[in-house]
Structure 1
Amino acid sequence: MTPPLLPFSPLNLPSEAALSANSTYRKGFDGNLKNCELLELFQYNCDLQKNKSGRIGDERIVCQPVERLFRRCKDRKGTFMVETTVWEGEGSRK
């Protein structure tokens, strides 16, 4: 299990990503997330919706996609992933 993390602002993500899980600075990584490979993952948020009749068997499952963005970065020890969904922001990718 990963250690618990204190919440921080998305603006601080580059400096937080420069720290490893044991709070030491990553060697070979300058904190520039834009130099890391951008990856995208879709998950689905599904809800059970009842018809107006409310009868059993009239329900249907409605799912909406949820996009999550990650950066795969490298340091001297190898690669690590950083979720950047909020940091990337809506419309910042081209």
Structure 2
Amino acid sequence: MAPFVETWPARELEFRSQVSLKGNKRKGFDGDLKGCELLEMLQYKCEVEKPVTRESVTRCWPIERMFRRCVDQNGGFMVETTAWEGKKGG
């Protein structure tokens, strides 16, 4: 069974990124994600159209994911920002 993953709205990402996985406030990082390096990754979601037949066709769709590589006092860390990058007007 996969571990629990906490979710929250994209508008909270800058605030939430200031806290480490241990729950401590990150030293040397003020939450400014725009100052971090932007990285992109392309993944694919695939589905088998008719899985009960031998002639089944597998179709895949690209899914673009975005990350920011940031630096704090302890070194680098990554934050997935896919939903945050898509928001309009701050």
| Range class of TM-score, shorter chain | 0.7 to 0.9
1:86 is matched with which residue?
83
CA RMSD between the two structures: 2.4
Q: Tell me, which stretches of 5 or more residues in structure 1 are unaligned? A: none
User: In the alignment, which residue of structure 2 is the partner of 1:45?
Assistant: 45
How far is the alpha carbon of 1:56 from its aligned partner? 2.9
Ranges of 4+ aligned residues in structure 1 off by more than 2 Å: 3-7
1:34 equivalenced with 2:34 (yes/no): yes
* TM-score normalized by the length of structure 2: 0.84
What code does the residue aligned with 1:41 have?
M
In the comparison of the two structures, how many residue pairs are matched?
87
- CA deviation string 1:28-65 (max 9, x = no partner): 11100000000001111001113xxxx83221110001
Q: TM-score, normalised by structure 1?
A: 0.81
Residue 43 to residue 18, structure 1, CA distance change in 2 (3 Å): same
Equivalent in the alignment of 1:15:
15
Identity of aligned residues (%): 45
Larger radius of gyration: 1
**Partners of 2:56 and 2:63 in 1: how far apart?**
22
DSSP 3-state at the match of 1:12: helix
